Structure 1
Amino acid sequence: MTTSTSELKAKTREELIREEALSLGFSVCGFADARAPWPAAGRLAQFVEAGRQGEMAWMAETLERRGHPAAMWADARSAIVLGVNYGPETDPMAGLAHRERGVISAYAQGDDYHDLIKPRLKALARWLQASFGGELKVFVDTAPLMEKPLAERAGLGWQGKHTNLVSRQFGSWLFLGSILTVLDLTPDEAATESCGSCHACLDVCPTSAFPAPFQLDARRCISYLTIELKGPIPAEFRPALGNRIYGCDDCLAVCPWNKFAQAGREARLAAREALKAPALEDLAGLDDAAFRALFAKSPVKRIGRDRFVRNVLYALGNSGDPALMAAVEPRLGDPSPLVRGAAAWAAGRLLAAAAFGRLREARLAAETDEAVRAEWTSAAGSAAQP
């Protein structure tokens, strides 16, 4: 958007920046003092000290830089925090009832949001420099900047009991991006926590991943387990996965503030039809090339074919439909031990004990991977009865 000299004089910088941000496709824009103290660093340190980050070693490695925006860039004076609405058009939990189909988190059913937001941030940054000058840096969540506490400071919303940002306008459905700048911008009033006595997000969690309100143990979170965890998902959590094959929206979807949210995401963030409710039996047969083709430009692509098919096989095991064993059986001989182990577990859930025992004996005769052999042994105890 072109801004005339007269407009620059008639409006504040903050008003002009907000207008430009909205014209570029952002849903909301707020301002925060990048130098002000905040308690987020202490909470993050406690999270890491307790080991709740699991295999996300980068959280400990970047702990010091995550402690405060000034630790990322000492010259930063203000933060411009942007949000993009990705609120789903339908209930993201409705698919959990259709056990033969996979459920992919709402944010991952379209194009990768990093690829959508970063060009907008850069466009806003170019406009900002052309209009007001000054150095700046652009961030979307791949950088070690704690964007949710920063968004709270900028008035976009507050971190709810599920630790995600909650907005009065958009509920729990905002992608975030930030610009740090040397400009002195008037900060917005920080949002205040407004969860009250509600604990719906804590109660709905299938794996009890919240040890207390406003605390998350990522090691129990389905999003962490299906996305970040590289090896087999611990057996204790597999039944609770249901048919969730990438991420989990339960704690977001039940938030009462969603009913006040402005409906609908923009067209470029719309879910792809092929990813709304994909058939598990089709997904189980994906090889690497087919996986890459299906998830081109999708965040799902980053976890790789083997980890994704692992998730699909756990979902097949949870389906309760013995007919879906036909989709599991080819994966018992998969080149990936991770996939073979998940297939063994699924077979134990779908087959009657006698049939599973025969299959187990035949497969163990040729299986050399100790982890997969262990899956066959443990799965024997979960085989369905005749």
Structure 2
Amino acid sequence: MAYGIETRCIHGEDGITREHAYGSMGTPIYQTATFAHPGVGQSTGFDYTRESNPTRSELERIVSSLEKAYDTVACASGMAALSILLELFENGSHFVCSEDLYGGSVRIFSTIGANRGLTFSYVNTADAELVEKAIKKETKALYIETPSNPTMQVTDLRAMKALAEKYGLLLIVDNTFLSPYFQNPIDLGADLVVHSGTKYLGGHNDALAGFLCSASKDLADKIRYIYKTTGGCLSPFESFLLIRGIKTLSVRMERQQENALKIANWLKEQEEIKGVYYVGLPEHPGYEINKSQARGFGGMISFHTDTAETAKRILERVKVISYAESLGGVESLITYPMLQTHGDVPAEIRERLGITDNFLRMSVGIENGDDLIEDLAQALKGE
């Protein structure tokens, strides 16, 4: 029987909870660095936690099921997952990337990636013609974030797969914003999917994690070798927290999306708000493409205020909403990308993308939607 995604969030592909010792409903935490061998040349299947651990393996199986991946490795953070990703490529490899990309990704590409002899071009990947023009003989991969962070650009993943096949490239997708509950890039042709598991998958702002999902055995084998060699693995306890968080992924995502659409429509009506960017609004330029490749719109909103003073007033006056980095948790957060998530992006690029001193990004939580609107209203009006 093929289980729905809501069931797989809780039980995994094949009812993993039935395998737990003593019928435990909660996942056992194997807080150990090493495992004893039954005999010479024999193994229980687990030898050393840097390579594999039963708690982490259960998490990896669940995420592989949700992303429809061949295999997944759970890493200490999203950046640890990107570090493994970069090791797949040889000196001289070139990437074509979404121009509106999480600032931490830009930072690791421009420093560690550049030091390894990798090069990166950034274009508006919502325009397939621009992507094709940026491809050169050294190009090895397309790196796509959709919806993008933080301006919510939507990229047609089927069009990107067509280009990847035409030029023999890997298609890599950061699926953090929509999570596997709303979007499955591997179904659309992606070879690799990256997640900051800290965000929607964890869902409670209490654990750092990252995932690198692979669509083929060849990529999975290479990644597993790098993974055990470099050691950026997720701890057993954090693995337990992520398993627990994923159990409520479906209900959280539905509530966050419901709240986000309500807030986005309210923001549109405020005279101090000059632009609202939410892929669930029919007027969003990527609305139809997102509908064609995803099952939902998520809980991320960005917007421009009339002045920098208004933006700062909101940040300093919110009460229910917290002025904080990160996203995807049950608590609503509001962020100043110019200074926080995208501080490492060159100023001229930020300005061109609209990541200015009057630009805010909001991660909508699962609180009462009217309470969130009331909080924004009092902060916006400064009353």
TM-score (norm 2): 0.26
Higher Cα Rg, which structure:
1
TM-score (norm 1): 0.26
Higher percent of residues as helix: 1
